Structure 1
Amino acid sequence: MKNLREVIGIDVSKNTLDVTLYHSNEHSVFSNDGKGYGEMVKWVDAQLEPGSYFFCFENTGNYSLKLSVFLSSNGLAYVEESPMRIKRSTGLTREKTDKLDSYMIARFGWMYREELVPSEIKPKEFQELGRLLALRDQLVRDRSGLKSTLKEQRHLLSSPSTDICCKALQRCIKHLDKQVLGIEKRMQELLKTDDFLYDNYKLLRSVKGVGLILSCQLLYHTGNFMKFDNWRRFSSYCGIAPFEHSSGSSVRRRKQSHYIGDRKMKTLLSMAAVSAIQSDQELKNYYHRKLEEGKHKMIALNNVRNKILARSFAVIKRGTPFVNIAATSY
């Protein structure tokens, strides 16, 4: 991106796109649809030489997905960046408008143009996998809420088996159970459509504590293990990598994880760690050894989470299933 002479910042919302050219500070608004995208490109090309610029905008999920597909299909250079990174680059700001946001996004793109890498649209199977994971997560949350309500109803009523509210809640829960199972079945079918993807999935399942959902999340977030060089980088992305905190001669805090990270991945890895401690003797011994060393339970659990990540990346790199050497030595 460093050879391009202009950055176009786009603030993406549900219905509109606020577009600003960084150097000329020209601003315009377009609709967030195919017609608006075409008008935006015509407006930009009328002021700039084609191929001399790139677009920069925040990853806003479904709102920015259509824009990414349009730019990619038309061969236009763009960078889809994390909203957190852009926000932290703006410094102290008191005003917030869509126009100002688009300018700050353009400013970010120009400041970091030598470091930014052109974004690419995810393959269709990854897009569908992401949608399935998000929908399953929503359905599981809804099911948990209904189960909690059912529990309260049963506690309040003397005859919950005949109450129409309890029956209705039970039918809803059973329906959600079927929907969740259907989504999981579709996820497995989707993995089988790509041999490389399915081979990596089977390798991940060989690691103790790594189930269907965690495997799919790992494949999705790592781009089938193409986006991250090693497990330590991905551990930092998830928010479970410990970092040093010191300053001068007086500030010497213990290493701890940063609060910024993917909370969903963090939760899934925590569940995997709890499961692995119960089913894997090596990890169980490792966890208790850390506790005997005086480590806090959450620190010991975090060590297990990183162990699971290290094993996951290792089986993918080797291309062979995980083998518990300690278990085979008996």
Structure 2
Amino acid sequence: MAKHIAYVGLDVHKDTIAVAIAEGAVHQEVRFWGIIPHQMPSLRRLVRRLTERYEAVEVVYEAGPCGYGLYRFLKGCGISCKVVAPSRIPRKPGERIKTDRRDAVTLARLLRSGDLTAVYVPHPEDEAMREVTRSRESAVTDRRRLIQQLKSFLLRHGRPYEKGTKGWTPKFRRWLSEQRFEHPALQLTFEEMIRAIEEADARVARLTQAIRDHVEHWRLAPAVRALQSFRGIRLVAAATLVAELGDLTRFDHPRQLMSFLGLVPSEHSSGDTRRRGPLTKTGNAHARRVLGEVAWAYRLPARVGRTLLAR
């Protein structure tokens, strides 16, 4: 017969899920249910047993590499579910033992006491766009690393490029095409490095085009277009910001948005003494990086050119 409310803590891993249940009464001990396979049949069986036994079920698990698939499955079954950041879970100072069982029990107990703050779970379409923009960001980082490796190789063998350029410019590529090494092994290494950079260029171009193609049909496309009216913000930057921030209406005040971005100063105050330090940088690093890059456009006086006027 159904009774009470169940607060369920899940410690989720790739292959297994540890389950603990705290019933409605605060004085009741949290019960460890067991460990189940991380597979759909086992999850459906768990949901069926919980819903048959309890009037209401609330579930929580830590954000991690398994993503939000479990959250969406539980919500689809009509079960209330929260995802919490591991860094926001209260820990006892003296705790030195960590097991799946303990983690699940802790989550269930804290969910029952109301001491957990849920993270924002993105819309599936927003998450898909975020994966594309982050993939492009990784591709750009890989290309930058490959170019640095090539320049280090040239410097080691007495071929530094001394024209004052910092980028992968046409002039630099023409200069590279003129370089030859006497030893076949060095020449092969040199050519493979250039080929790797060209492949990285092609990857960045493909992902950039993918962003351009998918933004047109994205539900947040109006926000992307609106952001491009600002100086320094073009398509990729705008799409990255919107994909990382998601639904901006979830922020009740600009201070919450700045805190999410890690753009608020740290503070250590006591009594009459107020000490403010550097930015906390505890929020979304991807969006913060983009904002830092586009902010350079505002170091110069405003000028509306053809490109900005068209946007």
Pick from 54, 65, 87 the counterpart of residue 68 of structure 2. Answer: 65
Instruction: Name the residue aligned to 1:91.
Output: 92
Secondary structure of 2:152's partner?
A: helix
Secondary structure of 1:169's partner?
A: helix
Instruction: Name the residue aligned to 1:27.
Output: 33
**Ranges in structure 2 where 5+ consecutive residues have no aligned partner:** 24-29, 160-178, 182-186
Structural mapping, 1:91-170, within 5 Å: 91-92=92-93, 93-112=95-114, 122-157=122-157, 161-162=180-181, 163-170=187-194
**What is the CA deviation profile of residues 12-33 of structure 1, one whole-angstrom value per residue up to 9, with x for unaligned ones?**
1222111111244123112223
Secondary structure of 1:206's partner?
A: coil
Residue 299 (structure 2) pairs with residue 277 (structure 1)? yes
Instruction: Name the residue aligned to 2:258.
Output: 235
Q: Retained in 2: the 8 A contact 1:18–1:28? A: yes
For 1:94, the aligned partner's letter is R
For 1:56 and 1:200, the matched residues in 2 are separated by 31
* Aligned-pair CA distance for 1:8: 0.5
Residue 265 (structure 2) pairs with residue 262 (structure 1)? no
**Ranges in structure 1 where 5+ consecutive residues have no aligned partner:** 282-321, 324-330
**What is the CA deviation profile of residues 270-319 of structure 1, one whole-angstrom value per residue up to 9, with x for unaligned ones?**
112123324647xxxxxxxxxxxxxxxxxxxxxxxxxxxxxxxxxxxxxx
For 1:136 and 1:191, the matched residues in 2 are separated by 14
Identity of aligned residues (%): 21
For 1:279 and 1:131, the matched residues in 2 are separated by 35
Instruction: Name the residue aligned to 1:246.
Output: 269
For 2:261, the aligned partner's letter is C
For 2:151 and 2:188, the matched residues in 1 are separated by 14
Q: Retained in 2: the 8 A contact 1:69–1:121? A: no
For 1:121 and 1:167, the matched residues in 2 are separated by 45
For 1:35, the aligned partner's letter is P
For 2:223 and 2:59, the matched residues in 1 are separated by 34
Query: 1:130/1:18 Cα in 2 relative to 1: closer, same or farther (>3 Å)?
Result: same
For 1:111 and 1:188, the matched residues in 2 are separated by 46
TM-score (norm 2): 0.77
For 2:141 and 2:49, the matched residues in 1 are separated by 44
Instruction: Name the residue aligned to 1:311.
Output: none
Alignment RMSD, CA only? 2.8
Secondary structure of 1:247's partner?
A: coil
Secondary structure of 1:57's partner?
A: strand
Query: 1:279/1:83 Cα in 2 relative to 1: closer, same or farther (>3 Å)?
Result: farther
